[in-house]
């Protein structure tokens, strides 16, 4: 099993080669290990943060011409004949402009976040599935924080009864596609963010394509059929999936990192019952959507501790935040070992 590795710019200088053939590397992590054994400190200093096995945010890796996921990319599987390209960011790619340094100043000055974190956000791609009560605040905070690329997906049109909680949609938007209404507001909020609106539903056919080019997926959906489809695609593609759901005063949230904790199907093996019209007080999805954006930003920047293996249960009526342990099911039909 031979993998061709092509080096560019500083990586070419460090290795003294334009390309190298590596045998028997099952994934990107083991390929990089072999390369650093072969080319030594000069290469590992370019690849990793000092004293860690975390990739520097100044490393770009393409597998067969596709960028690997920022968060789970090291686990990307390789097969015979694959071509891996390693290069530094093209000039200007993730550099921060003076306007961005000022706009994001209050988060850049957070210890551990810094310009490095902001550059990671700028390179990141996030999918927000559902532009309702959860997706409105989640996408607004991601856009305000300076995520580089946001795909927003919703097949529906704005209805009058959405407006008590879906704060990206306003009175004049009733009847408009939610994706168009959301893009209009989000692009005014922060013109630095690339926005892609998709007025469509999650289906078995599009789920993998929706997930494969993003670093994180936010679940702002209102039904478990679509949630299960995206959960399955996220498990297949090893993309983090931040689940949220609300009813009345009550909300739930958990962060699913495939391979590290349970997936949505481990936690809910069967679709929970749901009514056609569910009661919701606006601030409930407001709270949960903000927390989903918080989890996404933490994962991208590599700061804090994600809510993996735990479900947050929020009851706004009693003003209680509870956490319950959730476990991976080895027999799970989506992520199980069998
Ligand atoms: Zn599972």
**Res 57: pLDDT:** 73
Q: Give the pair of three-digit tokens for residue 6.
A: 């092509």
Say which residues have a Cβ less than 8 Å from residue 92's Cβ, sequence separation at least 6. none
CA 89 to centroid of ligand 1, rounded, Å: 35
| Average pLDDT for 217-232 | 97
CA 259 to centroid of ligand 1, rounded, Å: 9
| Average pLDDT for 33-58 | 85
Say which residues have a Cβ less than 8 Å from residue 68's Cβ, sequence separation at least 6. 28, 61, 62, 74, 76
CB atoms within 10 A of CB 146: 21
Per-residue model confidence as pLDDT tens digits over 121-164: 999 999 999 999 999 999 999 999 999 999 999 999 999 999 99
CA 306 to centroid of ligand 1, rounded, Å: 18
CA 337 to centroid of ligand 1, rounded, Å: 9
CA 207 to centroid of ligand 1, rounded, Å: 17
- 61 — pLDDT class (breaks 50, 70, 90): confident
CA 261 to centroid of ligand 1, rounded, Å: 8
**Res 218: pLDDT:** 98
CA 176 to centroid of ligand 1, rounded, Å: 37
CA 233 to centroid of ligand 1, rounded, Å: 12
CA 328 to centroid of ligand 1, rounded, Å: 6
- 93 — pLDDT class (breaks 50, 70, 90): low
Residue ranges with CB less than 5 Å from ion ligand 1: 263, 265-266, 332, 334-335
**Res 256: pLDDT:** 98
**Res 9: pLDDT:** 83
| Average pLDDT for 186-200 | 97
CB atoms within 10 A of CB 269: 12
Domains and CATH numbers, the chain: 2-87 (3.10.20.30), 124-325 (3.40.50.720)
Per-residue H/E/C for the chain: CEEEEEECCHHHHHHCCCEEEEECCCEHHHHHHHHHHHHCHHHHHHHECCCCCCECCCCEEEECCEECCCCCHHHCECCCCCEEEEECCCCCCCCCCHHHHHHCHHHHCCCCCHHHHHHHHHHCEEEEECCCCCHHHHHHHHHHHCCCEEEEECCCECCHHHCCCCCCCCHHHCCCEHHHHHHHHHHHHCCCCEEEEECCCCCCCCHHHHHHCCCEEEECCCCHHHHHHHHHHHHHHCCCEEEEEEEECEEEEEEECECCECCHHHHCCCCCCCCCCCCECCHHHHHHHHHHHHHHHHHHHCCCCCCCCEEEEEECCCCEEEEEECCCCCCCCCCCCC
CA 121 to centroid of ligand 1, rounded, Å: 28
Share of the chain above pLDDT 70, in %: 98
CA 12 to centroid of ligand 1, rounded, Å: 41
CA 167 to centroid of ligand 1, rounded, Å: 33
Per-residue model confidence as pLDDT tens digits over 235-273: 999 999 999 999 999 999 999 999 899 999 999 999 988
**Res 90: pLDDT:** 56
CA 336 to centroid of ligand 1, rounded, Å: 6
CA dist., res. 269 & res. 240, Å (int): 19
CA 334 to centroid of ligand 1, rounded, Å: 5
Rounded to 5°, angle at Cα 280 from 274 and 284: 115
Closest CA to 308 of 316, 299, 300, 317: 299
CA dist., res. 152 & res. 136, Å (int): 10
CA 329 to centroid of ligand 1, rounded, Å: 6
- 204 — pLDDT class (breaks 50, 70, 90): very high
CA 231 to centroid of ligand 1, rounded, Å: 9
CA 174 to centroid of ligand 1, rounded, Å: 38
**Res 337: pLDDT:** 80
- 275 — pLDDT class (breaks 50, 70, 90): confident
- 89 — pLDDT class (breaks 50, 70, 90): low
**Res 273: pLDDT:** 81
CA 274 to centroid of ligand 1, rounded, Å: 21
Cβ-count burial of 118 within 10 angstroms (0-12 exposed, 13-18 middle, 19+ buried)? buried
Q: Residue 283 pLDDT > 50, yes or no? A: yes
Phi/psi for 21 (5° steps) reads -105, 130
CA 267 to centroid of ligand 1, rounded, Å: 7
What is the residue whose two structure tokens read 């199980």?
A: 336
**Res 131: pLDDT:** 98
User: Which of 24-33, 175-184, 195-204 is predicted with the least confidence, judged by mean pLDDT?
Assistant: 24-33
């Amino acid at each position: 099993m031979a993998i061709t590795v092509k080096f560019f710019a500083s990586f070419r200088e460090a290795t003294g080669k334009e390309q190298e053939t590596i045998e028997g590397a099952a994934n990107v992590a083991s390929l990089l290990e072999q390369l650093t054994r072969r080319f030594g400190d000069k290469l590992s200093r370019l690849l990793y943060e000092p004293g860690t096995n975390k990739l520097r945010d100044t490393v770009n890796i393409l597998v067969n011409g596709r960028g690997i996921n920022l968060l789970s990319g090291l686990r990307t599987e390789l097969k015979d004949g694959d071509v891996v390209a390693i290069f530094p960011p093209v000039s200007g790619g993730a550099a921060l402009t003076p306007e961005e340094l000022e706009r994001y100043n209050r988060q850049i000055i957070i210890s551990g976040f810094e310009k490095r974190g902001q550059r990671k956000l700028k390179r990141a791609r996030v999918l927000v599935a559902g532009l309702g009560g959860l997706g409105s605040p989640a996408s607004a905070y991601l856009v305000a924080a300076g995520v580089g690329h946001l795909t927003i997906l919703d097949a529906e049109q704005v209805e009058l009864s959405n407006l008590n909680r879906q704060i990206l949609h306003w009175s004049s938007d009733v009847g408009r596609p939610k994706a168009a209404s959301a893009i209009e507001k989000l692009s005014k909020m922060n013109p630095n963010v690339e926005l892609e609106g998709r007025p469509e539903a999650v289906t078995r056919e599009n789920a993998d394509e929706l997930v494969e080019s993003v670093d994180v997926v936010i679940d702002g959906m209102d039904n478990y059929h679509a949630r299960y489809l995206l959960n399955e695609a996220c498990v297949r593609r090893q993309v983090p999936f931040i689940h949220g759901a609300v009813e009345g005063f009550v909300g739930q949230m958990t962060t699913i990192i495939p391979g590290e904790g349970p997936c949505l199907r481990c936690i809910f093996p069967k679709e929970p019952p749901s009514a056609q019209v569910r009661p919701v007080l606006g601030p409930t999805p407001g709270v949960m959507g903000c927390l989903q954006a918080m989890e996404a930003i933490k994962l991208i920047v590599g700061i804090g501790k994600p809510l993996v293996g735990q479900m947050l249960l929020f009851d706004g009526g009693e003003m209680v935040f509870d956490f319950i342990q959730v476990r991976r099911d080895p027999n799970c039909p989506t992520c199980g070992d069998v």
